[in-house]
A and B are shown apart, each in its own frame.
Chain A
Amino acid sequence: EVVMTQSPATLSVSPGERATLSCRASQSISSNLAWYQQKPGQAPRLLIYSASTRATGIPARFSGSGSGTEFTLTISSLQSEDFAVYYCQQSNKWPPLTFGGGTKVEIK
């Protein structure tokens, strides 16, 4: 099983600042990585797939990078609606598909 590890668990950021979230895979997953955003009481929403491709309708302030075992989600200038929990998910080696434990982005 590919273990996905996200850091930090919680990130405190002021509105307008840049946020950088990390996701590490226990083995190489090429670029088969997706990022999701989840707000309280809502289903997850796809942000990024194939490590760096923004999903339909996702603002340009969200960007993804990385390949192999190290990945990053960057939010260039945090807006109020961006405070949420973010998950990474690999699909290179399955079953099982695996998610990271999540990073909560909170208001500083």
Chain B
Amino acid sequence: EVQLLESGGGLVQPGGSLRLSCAVSGFIFNTYAMSWVRQAPGKGLEWVSAISSSGASTYYADSVKGRFTISRDDSKNTLYLQMNSLRAEDTAIYYCAKDGRGNYISYFDYWGQGTLVTVSS
């Protein structure tokens, strides 16, 4: 059974940092690209970042470029999102999501339950 479990969310002040983790099981992690998708309270879905199966390629939404860093540790079957210089508009539920096609960024066939990040003073 495929499982994705996010952690690391919480309340942080503007300008602060957080690192989100997503522990996965039930599939061969190092053969799939992975993404982070967020959802602000009461709003729609916004893709944030993606990483190739090898970790060699990373991609970001303009809204987070230069502030967020995606990475993966295949030995721990874990995906990460380092978030720096956080802003109020980064407040959202952050989901990790598994790509449905392997090493090609396409659609998301499995999602975690999400972790809430609140940026507020």
Chain A contact residues, CB within 8 Å of chain B: 32, 34, 36, 38, 42-46, 49, 55-56, 87, 89, 91, 94-102
Contacts and interface: CB of A to CB of B under 8 A. Distances in A.
Contacts of A49: 100, 106-107, 109
Contacts, number: 65
Contacts of A91: 105-107
Nearest to A34: B107
A92 to B, nearest CB: 9
Nearest to B100: A49
Contact of B50 (A55, A89, A95): A95
Given A44-B111, A95-B50, 6 more contacts: A34-B106, A36-B108, A43-B114, A44-B95, A49-B109, A56-B109
Contacts of A97: 35, 47, 50, 105
Contacts of A89: 45, 47, 107-108
B54 to A, nearest CB: 18
B105 A34 contact: no
A34 B45 CA distance: 13
B69 interface: no
Interface in B12-63: 35, 37, 44-47, 50, 59-62
Interface residues of B, number: 23
A46 B105 contact: no
B112 A43 contact: yes
Nearest to B110: A46
A50 to B, nearest CB: 8
Nearest to B98: A46
Nearest to B114: A43
A49 B108 CA distance: 9
Given A43-B112, A46-B100, A96 B107 contact: no
5 contacts: A34-B106, A43-B114, A45-B111, A89-B45, A99-B44
Nearest to B59: A95
B35 A101 contact: no
Contact of B108 (A34, A95, A98, A100): A34
Counting chain A CB atoms within 10 Å of each CB, which of B37, B60, B113 scores highest? B37
Given A43-B95, A96-B62, A55 B109 contact: yes
